[in-house]
Amino acid sequence: MKKYLLSVLTNNRKYTDAIAADPYIVKEDETSYCPKCKRMSFGLNWYPPYKIEVYKRNIGDIVLGTSSIIVSNKFKDVYEQNRLTGIKEFCRIEAVKGKGIKDEIELYYVKLNRYDVPIDYEKSEMKGDDVGWQCDLCEPNGELIRYVNGIYFKEEFPADIFYIYAFGNGIFLSERFIRVMESNGITNLKNNYELCDSYILPKWPKEDYEIAKALRKP
């Protein structure tokens, strides 16, 4: 099965991004910490009130810009009707600020499960800074990832949309997730995801991308 990663660095200008509006409350909780090494590997989490600000009136079924994704009622229905997996909780957005935005718009901030899906480091090309420690779960390579040119896994994906322990807050997507969402016309997904096999970090200008692609391991 093909594997995908949500790519939030693309320049999609059609749909609005969102930022968390005041009061923006973040806290550490059990999901901030690696269960194995107990380090704070995954950062702080957003806590209620969930209020956002948008810049354009065109709100997609997926809204990027906050620490996870924000989704529409339609996304939630498609997800639930097709029994997709990986979402821990849909948290209702209480208020949407922005010019011309009706406050009753129904949006949800999504909290995702995190799984242990081992990366195949022999096949993947990743470079980083030595962090001086190693954890089999959250930092198997002992490096803070700075450069990625293809991510390969040793196992199939356990869910349809989720985080993994070894890749911070990158959001991984199954082939089924892409197929179900696209066939149901979910907007602002197209152009915002990439095949893990050809995922490149950081995003480079196109000519550099072609060079990097040519250098990719078969």
Nearer to Zn ion, 135 or 178 (CB): 135
The token pair that represents 118 in the structure block: 């081992």
Tell me: does residue 200 bind Zn ion (CB under 5 A): no
* Contacts of 132 by beta carbon, 8 Å cutoff, 6+ apart: 142
Tell me: does residue 31 bind Zn ion (CB under 5 A): no
Minimum CB separation of residue 137 from Zn ion in Å reads 5
Minimum CB separation of residue 8 from Zn ion in Å reads 24
* Contacts of 67 by beta carbon, 8 Å cutoff, 6+ apart: 43, 45, 46, 169
Q: How many residues does the chain have?
A: 218
Residue count, binding to Zn ion (CB under 5 A): 6
Q: Which of 36, 28, 13, 118 is nearest to 67 (CA)?
A: 28
Minimum CB separation of residue 42 from Zn ion in Å reads 10
Rg from Cα positions in the chain: 18
Give the Cα separation of 82 and 211 in Å (integer): 40
Determine the 3-state secondary structure of 79 from DSSP: helix
Tell me: does residue 37 bind Zn ion (CB under 5 A): yes
Nearer to Zn ion, 49 or 140 (CB): 140
Minimum CB separation of residue 62 from Zn ion in Å reads 29
x/- binding map, residues 127-166, to Zn ion, per CB under 5 A?
--------x-xx----------------------------
Tell me: does residue 34 bind Zn ion (CB under 5 A): yes
Segment near Zn ion (CB under 5 A); pick from 18-26, 36-44, 71-79, 201-209? 36-44
Residue 147 pairs with which residues in a beta bridge? 127
CA-angle at 48, arms to 31 and 35, nearest 5°: 5
Nearer to Zn ion, 80 or 130 (CB): 130
Tell me: does residue 21 bind Zn ion (CB under 5 A): no
Nearer to Zn ion, 32 or 184 (CB): 32
* Contacts of 92 by beta carbon, 8 Å cutoff, 6+ apart: 50, 106, 107, 108, 109
Contact residues for Zn ion, defined by CB under 5 A: 34, 36-37, 135, 137-138
